[in-house]
Amino acid sequence: MDDSIAKAGPQDQRWELPDYEHDRELGAGAAGRVVLARHRATGTPVAVKYLSGPAADHEGFRAEAELLAALHSPYIARLYEYVESPYGAAIVMELVDGISLRDLLKAEGATGPEAALTVLKGSLLGLVAAHRAGVVHRDYKPGNVLVAADGSSKLVDFGIAVRVGDTGGIAGTPAYMAPEQWAGRPAAPSTDVYAATATFFECLTGAKPYSGTTLIELAVQHTEAEIPAEQAPEALRPLILAGLAKTPEQRPDGAALLIEQLEAVAGAAYGPDWEARGRHRLAALVALLPGLLPYGGAPSVGSTSFATTTLGATAGRPARFGRRAKLLSAGIGVVLVAGALAGVAVAGAPGSAGSTAMAAPKATTTLGAAVAPAPSDSASAAASASAVPTPSASPSGEPSASATMAPPVPSMSKKPPTPTGSTSASASPSPTVAPPTPTVTPPAPPLQVKYIAGSATCSPSYMTVSGTVDTDGAADGTLTLTWTSSASRLPVTHTVALPKGQRTVKFSDSMPFGNARTLTVRLTSTPAATRGQGSTFTLDSSSQTCNPIR
């Protein structure tokens, strides 16, 4: 964004979206505030996250909206719209009628094992959607998990999220940061697994895994200190040890695998009804804190509609856009799809290159066909009250140490959708634009994996498996190596890409014996190999092969 857009208008002015009736502030910081509001036309309760003030990061704010636009999950608070104007920017979010896990832990202490497993699973399902979209949250913590009145949970606040493989600088909340985050290494789903496990530990014990009081102490503890698994219930210690492993390779490689392990351990330890009991416990804890709910425990009313946002004209004259704004908005309205349609419009600021000086336009919302989901569509309705976090170096506080991020290239339609039976809050009628004819692309031929061939060797410290995968190269595939040891009930999974166009892929992978006497590795491919699928190798560290007689 041009600096002129970010600086135009008085930054301390309480700019508000006119199509929302504002109730009260849920939170505020140096870069903006979050407001409880309702959409005037439908009565839908929302949380509006306003960006303004001298600490405002417009590029990062837009990047957050673009990431949210790509995520579709009932376990993530939805993006409704994103609006920019010379006075600031705003994200309109689903309002989750719940409280943060941080507030719940502060008021009630440890949740108990079944509730801890349940709240972890719910928010992990949100992470699964993010990881499948190639997004790493980087700031999973109790303050970014919302627990609804029915005991369900959602993940919020993607303010410092990045694409998988990006670095984005050293950012996160120190008490929950993985060792690789402290080193500024590229983000990976296993980074979120670490933070989620640290949060899980806190739910179980009522305390964070490491108690350092300075950034240096926390950095050393997270990278070098022993994992305090003995403080957790014995049945759940394998989850803690796997999730808080010091290296990403030793952890589950994403939220989906962690959920698999969680369900296996929980079922074995607490029986098949553990999740129902855990959800009931969470609902009971939330019921003890009605004053922390957005509406104080009273049910919210309204329906969800689809909306796009454009900038209105000033003094009967169409708004004029600067050259940069035209590139961003591609005309009057640009549409992002995120559960509901989220409109994006940018106005050229006074004094910007190629723009015409004028009074700041007001944002107006044009409603499309109102499609209200049944109340059960959303178990909870709230954006994070921590809204626009203030950068903080304090290890004890919740605010994240944020970093400036370059936003990914927006994936936006150049034409707004055709309004059908729309009701406009603006005096001027909305133009009707015929939608483009969809192009049907024939499906790519599936990959055929012909065989997996491998062999295993060992040394006194490591077991290594090497081999070859032969395919027809028609599409992408994956080889999965699942390691298990005699010292742990939890598997460790490594993956090898089978790229499209490459018919033969060689692989080699190693695992330390550690305290284990035996290691086993199982080889599987996706899609399944015709020969060699499920090949398994087991070696004993005490055998003469691994420890030859000298």
pLDDT for 115: 96
Q: Which helix (H) or strand (E) holds 498?
A: strand 488-498
pLDDT for 490: 63
Task: Give mean pLDDT, residues 52-75.
Answer: 81
Token pair 């599409």 is found at 475
Token pair 């009313």 is found at 301
pLDDT for 51: 84
Q: Which helix (H) or strand (E) holds 35?
A: strand 32-39
pLDDT for 182: 92
Range among 160-174, 343-357, 394-408 rated most confident: 160-174
Task: Give mean pLDDT, residues 144-157.
Answer: 92
- For 535-547, how does the pLDDT look when each residue is reduced to its tens digit (9 = 90+)? 999 988 887 667 6
Does residue 429 register a pLDDT over 50? no
Q: Which helix (H) or strand (E) holds 170?
A: none
Any idea what DSSP says for residue 431?
Answer: P
Does residue 292 register a pLDDT over 50? yes
Dump the DSSP string for 261-280: HHHHHHHHHH-TTHHHHHHH
Of 2, 103, 139, 509, catalytic: 139
**Of the candidates 247, 249, 252, which has an alpha carbon nearest to the alpha carbon of residue 227?**
247
pLDDT for 52: 76
Domains of the chain listed by start with CATH number = 3-96+296-424 (3.30.200.20), 98-292 (1.10.510.10), 449-540 (2.60.40.10)
Range among 23-37, 81-95, 154-168, 237-251 rated most confident: 237-251
Task: Give mean pLDDT, residues 48-75.
Answer: 82
Does residue 417 register a pLDDT over 80? no
Rounded to an integer, what distance in angstroms lies between the CA atom of residue 362 and that of residue 382?
26
Within 10 A of 317 (CB to CB), how many other CB atoms are there? 9
**Mean confidence (pLDDT) of the chain:** 73
99 or 487: which leads in pLDDT: 99
Active site residue 166: no
- For 23, phi then psi, to 5°, come to -95, -70
Confidence of residue 71 (pLDDT cuts 50, 70, 90): confident
Which residues partner with 449 through β-bridges? 471
CA angle 298, 301, 304 (to 5 degrees): 140
Within 10 A of 344 (CB to CB), how many other CB atoms are there? 25
- For 304-357, how does the pLDDT look when each residue is reduced to its tens digit (9 = 90+)? 333 333 333 333 332 222 322 322 232 222 222 233 323 222 222 333 333 323
- For 431-482, how does the pLDDT look when each residue is reduced to its tens digit (9 = 90+)? 334 444 444 455 667 899 999 999 998 877 788 999 999 999 999 999 989 8
452, 472 contact by CB (below 8 A): no
> What letter represents residue 351's amino acid?
G
pLDDT > 90 in the chain, percent: 41
Does residue 525 register a pLDDT over 90? yes
Range among 389-403, 448-462, 482-496 rated most confident: 448-462
pLDDT for 309: 35
Task: Give mean pLDDT, residues 398-402.
Answer: 47
Token pair 């959920």 is found at 259
Rounded to an integer, what distance in angstroms lies between the CA atom of residue 492 and that of residue 489?
10
The helix/strand count (H/E) of the chain reads as 11, 22
pLDDT for 391: 36
Q: Which tokens is 430 given?
A: 């909305």
Grouping H, G, I as helix, E, B as strand and the rest as coil, residue 388 is: coil
- For 144, phi then psi, to 5°, come to -110, 15
Any idea what DSSP says for residue 229?
Answer: G
CA angle 451, 454, 460 (to 5 degrees): 165
pLDDT for 62: 86
